[in-house]
Amino acid sequence: MPDLMTSTALAGQNTVSQFQFSGQQVAELTSTEYTLAGLAVDLSSSVGPFTKELEKAYAAVVKACRRSPRAHNLLLRGATFNDAVRELHGFVELSRLQEDQTTFAPNGMTALYDGALDAIEAVETYGRYLTAKDFFVNGIVVIVTDGAENRSRTATIRKIKEALARIARAEQLESIKTILIGIGDSSVVQAGLEQFRKDAGLDQFLWVGDATPGRLAKMAEFISKSISSASLSLGTGGPSQNLGLN
């Protein structure tokens, strides 16, 4: 991924919970309304066997979003989580991304709650910044994981739920859509993730199943379509409808 931490970037900004993110400065933006898309990917050691497929899926999301009729109204941020949360790239227009330059190195455990809260609060904080500059903004957060929480140091289910309530009260984003995606073959993990979705107040849970190349390709298609749908809903007063896995 290109280096976005430049003097022209909104770099090193802190969210409510002191997570950091970066994004483009207003002077660099080419549209007046944006959908902020935050994608958080689990890179704990258990995803090691399908690392290359995850890299291809991320690249496919970027490529597909670039073909969207709303591509010029999308700002995409990528982050990963294992023992800690790391930003791949800040909120950036798709023309600045090269989808074939993402390299994942899985290790450690699963800070799922931290990954989710980081992604939600980054959309919240950057959305507040753009709204104050007279941009019209909505958001979508997609969290991809193959396991349950076992490492977070900052976030809790309560903090995630409170963040979503805070965003709704502030009315600085027209809407925010939150999607949790599970990968694997464990019914226990599947049930646990569905419970997490309910307890945290996330909008949708999608179980992909086994991490085969075909299923991960369909997951990438689902993510890109969900992002495009969120962008198409900008101006309608509400979030986009839930989509399914084809």
Each residue of 154-208: pLDDT tens digit?
Answer: 999 999 999 999 999 999 999 999 999 999 999 999 999 999 999 999 999 999 9
Is the overall model pTM greater than 0.85, yes or no?
Answer: yes
The token duo for 73 is 């109204």
pLDDT at 4 exceeding the cut of 80? no
pLDDT value at 3 more than 60: no
Q: Are 53 and 73 in contact (CB under 8 A)?
A: no
Position 105 pLDDT exceeds 60 = yes
Residues 48-65 have pLDDT tens digits of: 999 999 999 999 999 999
pLDDT at 98: 78
Any idea where the domains of the chain sit in the sequence?
Answer: 36-107+117-132+149-177+192-235
C-alpha angle 151-153-157 in degrees, rounded to nearest 5:
85
Q: Is the pLDDT of residue 5 over 50?
A: no
At 85 the pLDDT is 97
Q: How far is CA 127 from CA 22, 75, 105, 227, in A?
A: 12, 11, 30, 16
What DSSP character marks residue 222?
H
Residue 25 parent element (H or E): none
118 phi/psi in degrees, rounded to 5: -55, -50
Cα angle, residue 25 at apex, residues 57 and 65 outer, rounded to 5°: 25
CATH class for domain 36-107+117-132+149-177+192-235?
Answer: alpha beta
